[in-house]
Chains A and B, each alone.
Chain A
Amino acid sequence: DAGVIQSPRHEVTEMGQEVTLRCKPISGHDYLFWYRQTMMRGLELLIYFNNNVPIDDSGMPEDRFSAKMPNASFSTLKIQPSEPRDSAVYFCASRAGWAAYEQYFGPGTRLTVT
């Protein structure tokens, strides 16, 4: 298996633009997580899905952020409009089941908003 795949790996955009981050989880994993990492705040859980259904989005910072999982093999995290404070590394992770505490992380997307 190729592991969790994220794209793009790097994204530079101007304030006010829409940004879409993409994730392909490991096949067969029914949990998908989106995290954001900054030096100041560490690794923050934004939202997670179970069987393509959003379970907890309490970590989503504000309405500018939205996430979808239209099928078991694809998820997106969208920021519209983007702001400089959104600059961070965004990780996607997947997990095989409730009792499987081991999560597999993707390589991350480094977002820079100027």
Chain B
Amino acid sequence: QSALTQPRSVSGSPGQSVTISCTGTSSDVGGYNYVSWYQQNPGKAPKLMIYDVTKRPSGVPDRFSGSKSGNTASLTISGLQAEDEADYYCCSYAGSYIHYVFGTGTKVTVL
């Protein structure tokens, strides 16, 4: 099972919006509404930011939003802040045989 494809890096100035794509197949991203997004800071465990494509856990700022179209899911960070600089990973359920697959990861840089 191949990892989901994410851009290696994205960047933006404070206050701008950035979008991270996560491309899979009809067997994972396109087949289920079970895409989640995790933020990871250096040396730390990942933190859930989005689940079930569009839902945001309590405590996650509403500038984080998720969406999906076909086999590609996206995470958008609106009103970028310095504290958003981190690595971001998507993860998709992929059925009862493969189960789960992570994305390749994207480094977000705040300029």
- Is the A/B pair a real complex? no
User: Which B residues are closer than 8 A to A by beta carbons?
Assistant: none
